[in-house]
Amino acid sequence: MHSSPLAPATQNRPPEPALNRRRAALQMMAIPAAMASGGVLANSAEDPAGIAETSRFTTPQGCHLHYQDRGKGPVVLLGHSYLWTSGMWAPQIKALSRHYRVIAPDLWGHGASGALPADTQDLKGLAAQMLQLLDALHVRECAVVGLSVGGMWGAELALRAPERVRSLVMMDTFLGAEPEPTRLRYFGLLDAIEAGGKVTQPLIDAIVPIFFRPGTDPASPRPAAFGRSLAAMRADQLRESVVPLGRIIFGRADAMDRLAGLDANTTLLMGGDEDIPRPPREMQEMAEVIGCESVLIPQAGHISNLDNPQFVTQHLLQWLDRTMR
């Protein structure tokens, strides 16, 4: 196991409200355009403000997966955290798309994507669906950068189709079984959300701090915006997608023994030094099994790419230059 040195970083400014409104509008503009691998790809006009091109993939079963597609070059597939959207990758998409083609899907039931396919049983199923997306886009090989559940299905994708994944970065994630205390707590939260059909303020107060550094003011802009996004989720969205996905994530089987099947030379682990749900010791445990490099991200919680975007982006660019060029 190897560790990369740390360096201080500065925070990037969040997107302006006008750009957020433009992104939301673009997500609703997808129109049918092409057929590929049994799925329909619908492409929108490119955003004149330079945010991203937004598109939609329809599976053979009729399920709609929204994704951002920006830049040219070797492909980088980004996987976002549970309860967030592909928009969380905005700082990295801006930088990476200057050198790579960046594809960032919204998880089922998140962002502009449709409902979770009924036959999705586990993380392997999510990986298979992302492989369908790559097939539809005629992407033969790519790098996968996944945070939280994005890292979980990213690992499953690399294990399922190693010839398709040239480089794998897992951030703030853990492929062991969820520890019993947190599994029970999370399942209790999911049960309450399912029963009520909404994320109430007490639930928001319990969920939001999980994603941020200890001591973060919940009224500060990012936590407050995250809380509002939870409150805005519809009952059908929660019951058909968000809750079932949560049970898949937190009820996952222990996959630690299979991690040795990953290529240590093309696998990188990164994690926030103040990540509450995925503490650094879990990252080190996985790094020892894989035999790969690991990077501790300073001044960062679970959504480490937003807590310390400059540090994360710099390391991703360096890593991708090593493994994808």
CATH number at residue 271: 3.40.50.1820
Q: Is residue 199 part of a domain?
A: no
Q: Is the residue at 103 inside a domain? A: yes
pLDDT winner (highest mean) among 4-13, 14-23, 37-46, 97-106: 97-106
**61 pLDDT tier (thresholds 50, 70, 90):** confident
The answer to whether residue 200 sits within a structural domain is no
Q: Is 238 domain-assigned?
A: no
- Phi/psi at 58 (nearest 5 deg)? -110, 120
For residue 263, is pLDDT > 70? Answer: yes
pLDDT at 182 over 80: yes
Each residue of 225-260: pLDDT tens digit?
Answer: 999 999 999 999 999 999 999 999 999 999 999 999
Amino acid 51: pLDDT: 44
Residue 296 structural domain: 43-177+252-324
Residue 264 has pLDDT above 90, yes or no: yes
What confidence score (pLDDT) does residue 33 get?
A: 29
pLDDT at 15 over 90: no
**Does residue 235 form part of some domain?**
no
56-73: average pLDDT: 95
pLDDT given for residue 27 in this prediction: 36
Flag whether 221 is in a domain.
Answer: no
Distant-in-sequence, close-in-space partners of 118: CB < 8 Å, separation ≥ 6: none
Q: Is 48 within a domain?
A: yes
Mean pLDDT of the chain: 88
Cα 121 to Cα 247: distance, rounded to the nearest angstrom: 10
Residue 41, pLDDT score: 52
What pLDDT sits at residue 52? 54
Give the full edge-to-edge strand order of the sheet including 39-43: 2-3, 293-297, 267-272, 165-171, 142-147, 75-79, 101-105, 64-70, 53-58, 39-43, 31-36
Q: Say which residues have a Cβ less than 8 Å from residue 63's Cβ, sequence separation at least 6.
A: 108, 114, 115, 116, 117
| Average pLDDT of the segment spanning 189-194 | 99
pLDDT of residue 312: 99
* Amino acid 96: pLDDT: 99
Predicted local confidence at residue 22, as pLDDT: 38
In this prediction, residue 184 carries a pLDDT of: 99
Q: For the chain, how many structural domains are there in total?
A: 1
In a domain, 256, yes or no: yes
pLDDT score at 34: 29
Q: What percent of the chain has pLDDT over 70?
A: 84
Q: How many alpha carbons lie under 13 Å from residue 75 in its C-beta half-sphere?
A: 18
CB 1 within 8 A of CB 294: yes
What would the pLDDT profile of 22-58 be if each residue is shown by its tens digit?
Answer: 333 333 333 222 223 334 454 433 333 344 588 999 9
For the segment 89-108, the average pLDDT, to the nearest whole number, is 99
Q: 170 near 282, Cβ under 8 Å?
A: no
Res 148: pLDDT: 99
